[in-house]
Amino acid sequence: MTTTESVSLAPDDGRARRNVVILALASAILGAQMPVHFVLGGLSGQILAENKALATLPISATVFCSMFAAPVVALLMGRYGRRAGFFIGVAGGGAGAALNAVALLLGSFPLLLAGSALIGVYMAAQGQYRFAAADTASPAYRPKAISYVMAGGLAAAIIGPQMIVPLAREALAPVPFAGAYVATALLNLFAAPLLLLLDIPRPPRRPKGAPSGRPMREILAEPRVRAAMICAMVSYALMNLVMTATPLAVVGCGFSPDMAGSIVSAHVLAMFAPSFFTGHLIARFGAERIVLAGLALLGLTAVVALSGTGTFEFFVALVLLGIGWNFGFIGATDMLTAGQRPEERAKVQGLNDFLVFGLVTIASLSSGALLNGFESVEAGWDAVNIAVAPFLTLAVVTLIWLKFRRRGA
């Protein structure tokens, strides 16, 4: 047995493995509400919004709320423990889904925005699953723990778009999609007790006046931390930019909502299926190389999407988009956790997710405006994919800068 394997099988990792299983199940079951909302949020907005350029505003409201909820949830977890923050997320997700169902029944776009914003509280809490997986893991097991928890999204991709959406979307006919949101609200209610099984110690209470690790400016002065945050922001934002526009583009090009759901489902599967081996790739090749591979795949996504608007191009582009996000985001998460101390987790992770969801908010707002800002859906879809280039360039240049900075040091 190698030294690395010996470390990964340390006694502490028994607890970590148990927590990983629970967090992966939570990601699979509770996480199914996110692909449901990403499929139906824009389509619901298209029905209720008078100005169709605002169709993706419900998705933007979700991400915008998660931007501000992320640091709050992280700080609450730092004070009261992970479970407390996760239950706050479940409450937000359940209430938001129920409110969206009411909004569709009443035909109220503002109510749809309010419900979608509440779903952002769940999104912020779910973003902490990957960090929670690392809390009790040894350094050798950490990238695998993060990766395995992210793999729970694979089941979410099936439960959400392939089960909840087709089985429940017409349950309250003739009002479309309201039944799927009711089913999502019930999902939160019945799956929440799973989180009670987590065994992550509550952080020790700091003595009054004691510092909470290094000042943030000192942490951000570390090149690896800055690079990790930038790559996480770009990976998530570009994925959201393209994915948010996809259901509207697919339907706008003459295909059915079921086809849009199948394409988004393939995308979500591609987001999480690689997680079974992403951690192993990071352990072998290093996080920076895996992030760079993810960014390359995101660039290839735009190339394929610009080549046509048939179902083949949509499927291939969205699969590449999912794999690129997986490599970029998991790799950046490992880079970030390696650059922080235990007492700094709450503030560093909170700031990271605030910045990530901040750029994702801009991306989701831009998605609808770009898609509906041209004479044809095809032209708008091209504009969405061309917008990928400058952000991708920023992330790649940042990684190159980090490499030369290390070499110079």
Q: Between residues 365 and 36, which one has the greater pLDDT?
A: 36
Mean pLDDT across the chain, nearest whole number? 87
C-beta of residue 197 within 8 angstroms of C-beta of residue 187: no
Q: In this structure, what is the dihedral angle of CA atoms 173, 178, 179, 182, given to the nearest 10 degrees?
A: -150
Question: What pLDDT, on a 0 to 100 scale, did the predictor assign at position 10?
Answer: 45
Structure tokens given for 58: 């419900």
Q: In this structure, what is the dihedral angle of CA atoms 379, 384, 385, 387, given to the nearest 10 degrees?
A: 120
Q: Dump pLDDT digits (tens) for 18-66.
A: 999 999 999 999 999 998 998 899 889 989 988 877 887 898 899 889 8
DSSP 229-290: HHHHHHHHHHHHHHHHHHHHHHHHTT--HHHHHHHHHHHHHHHHTTHHHHHHHHHHH-HHHH
pLDDT at 74 over 80: yes
Lowest mean pLDDT among 107-116, 209-218, 298-307: 209-218
Question: What pLDDT, on a 0 to 100 scale, did the predictor assign at position 212?
Answer: 63
Question: What pLDDT, on a 0 to 100 scale, did the predictor assign at position 7?
Answer: 38
Determine the Cα–Cα distance for residues 99 and 106; give it in Å rounded to an integer.
10
Mean pLDDT of 107-112: 95
Question: What pLDDT, on a 0 to 100 scale, did the predictor assign at position 111?
Answer: 96
Question: What pLDDT, on a 0 to 100 scale, did the predictor assign at position 109?
Answer: 96
Q: Dump pLDDT digits (tens) for 145-162.
A: 888 898 888 888 788 877
pLDDT at 5 over 60: no
pLDDT at 366 over 90: no
C-beta of residue 209 within 8 angstroms of C-beta of residue 335: no
Confidence grade of residue 136 (pLDDT, cut at 50, 70, 90): confident
Question: What pLDDT, on a 0 to 100 scale, did the predictor assign at position 94?
Answer: 96
Question: What pLDDT, on a 0 to 100 scale, did the predictor assign at position 193?
Answer: 94
Hey, what domains does the chain have and what are their CATH numbers? 9-199+214-408 (1.20.1250.20)
pLDDT at 87 over 50: yes
Question: What pLDDT, on a 0 to 100 scale, did the predictor assign at position 207?
Answer: 64
pLDDT at 135 over 70: yes
pLDDT at 4 over 70: no
C-beta of residue 200 within 8 angstroms of C-beta of residue 81: yes
In a 3-state reduction of DSSP, which class is residue 140? coil
End-to-end CA distance of the chain: give it in Å, rounded. 34
Confidence grade of residue 369 (pLDDT, cut at 50, 70, 90): confident
Confidence grade of residue 206 (pLDDT, cut at 50, 70, 90): low
C-beta of residue 365 within 8 angstroms of C-beta of residue 162: no
Q: Between residues 406 and 380, which one has the greater pLDDT?
A: 380
Structure tokens given for 16: 């970590």
Query: What pTM was estimated for this model as a whole?
Result: 0.76
Question: What pLDDT, on a 0 to 100 scale, did the predictor assign at position 409?
Answer: 60
